[in-house]
A and B are shown apart, each in its own frame.
Chain A
Amino acid sequence: MRNRLLGAAAIALLPSLAFSFQFFGSQNQSLTVQPAPDGALSVPSSASLTSAGTLFQPFTGNLLINYDVRTTPSGSASMTIQAASDFSPAGGPSVASGNLTYTCGAASLGTACVGATTVSTSSQTAVVNVGSGVCTGGGGACSSTSPNTVQMNFVLTDNPSFRTGTYSANLTLSISAL
């Protein structure tokens, strides 16, 4: 009686072994992803600087910048501004002469510029600096909002030597990330 029961148990094991080794094939494969540091920004195509109407008081205007950025654990990012071209036509204000300055409002991610900075035609000046290991949206190590925002406040000197008229200059905002 004991032997017959053992025989039945042995037979019962066979189907499971057969199905495990004969009817399946499996394979593993590694997958790697490397999210790169990156930055992007958007601004209105133009911003107007206006005067309060009092003679020779500066012209002022704001520019709201939306930006997304992420950096590596050892990286950083910076947003900068530079004048791509000076005011035209000639005879009016001049970026090269230091007539255009800006201040920054609070940045939702990173550290915005502090104090008044003069816009340059020859070099980039800082708007926002971002530290390492940050990202945009989602909270946690990232900012809670997407996109992030910062406001720039421009001040353009008025001067009796400027001819009356409408003047325009091109400014380039850039963001780079490591």
Chain B
Amino acid sequence: MLRNVSVQLMTRILVVPIFAGLLQGSVGAITALPSTVSFSPTTPESAGTVSVALSWQITGGSSTKTWNITVAASSGTLTNCTTIPASAIQVICTASSVSGGGTGACGGSFPLSTTPQQFAGGQQATGTANYSVNVTYQFTDAWKYQATGAPTCQLTLSYLVTQN
């Protein structure tokens, strides 16, 4: 008899997060342009920069909720160039905007790492809205990095948009 009471109580508690979740919006596919962040051949005397435009849509957003976007590197060093750490690449958010009354703001710049780091965030717009963030990647070259022929040094960037 005691076991039956316990089960009913558990059911009530679990129903709450289900409905809370359904009230939140959904994040559409993130578009990142260009598809590859490709630095022109660099030298230690000049840092290379590449700008990236990120955009996505949130459906069923709420002005009482926030959004944020993070970026992380797939590994601590670049493939084919293990002497170059991911941290040689600086992430600089330059602009953030949300259509339909939401807000977007850039965070400070930081060196890329395998730990997801937030570079923009803000308040969601109500309903369906377009979100965009511009970010610049700056590679600080150094004499201690070996020059490469082919293949080039590579890394995969992982973006994650979350809403709370």
Contacts and interface: CB of A to CB of B under 8 A. Distances in A.
Interface of A: 1, 4-5, 7-8, 11-12, 14-15, 18-19, 22-38, 40, 68-75, 133-138, 140-142, 146, 177
Nearest to B28: A25
A38 B81 contact: no
B93 interface: no
Interface of A is mostly: mixed
B157 A35 contact: no
Interface in B85-131: 89
A137 B158 CA distance: 31
A40 B45 contact: yes
B17 A177 contact: no
A74 B149 contact: yes
B83 A4 contact: no
B114 to A, nearest CB: 13
Interface of B: 3-4, 7, 10-11, 14-15, 17-18, 21-22, 24-32, 35-45, 48, 52, 54, 56, 78, 81, 83-84, 89, 137, 139, 141-149, 152-163
A39 B69 CA distance: 40
A25 B147 contact: no
Nearest to B139: A33
A18 B17 CA distance: 10
Contacts of B29: 25, 27
A144 to B, nearest CB: 10
Given A22-B24, A27-B32, A36-B42, A75 B157 contact: no
Contact of A33 (B4, B21, B42): B42
Contact of B7 (A8, A22, A23, A31): A8
A146 B143 contact: yes
B145 to A, nearest CB: 5
Contacts, number: 184
A65 B32 CA distance: 46
Contact of B145 (A18, A22, A25, A70): A70
Nearest to B149: A72
Nearest to B88: A33
Given A30-B36, A31-B157, A140-B83, A7 B11 contact: yes
A139 B95 CA distance: 39
Contact of B143 (A8, A14, A23, A136): A136
B161 A73 contact: no
B154 A32 contact: yes
Given A33-B81, A38-B43, A27 B22 contact: no
A140 B89 CA distance: 22
Contacts of A1: 3-4
B127 to A, nearest CB: 15
Q: Top 5 closest A-B pairs, CB basis?
A: A25-B27, A138-B144, A27-B30, A36-B41, A136-B143
10 contacts: A4-B4, A8-B11, A15-B14, A25-B28, A29-B32, A38-B147, A72-B147, A74-B149, A134-B146, A135-B145
A42 to B, nearest CB: 12
Nearest to A74: B149
Contact of B146 (A12, A19, A35): A35
B148 A35 contact: yes
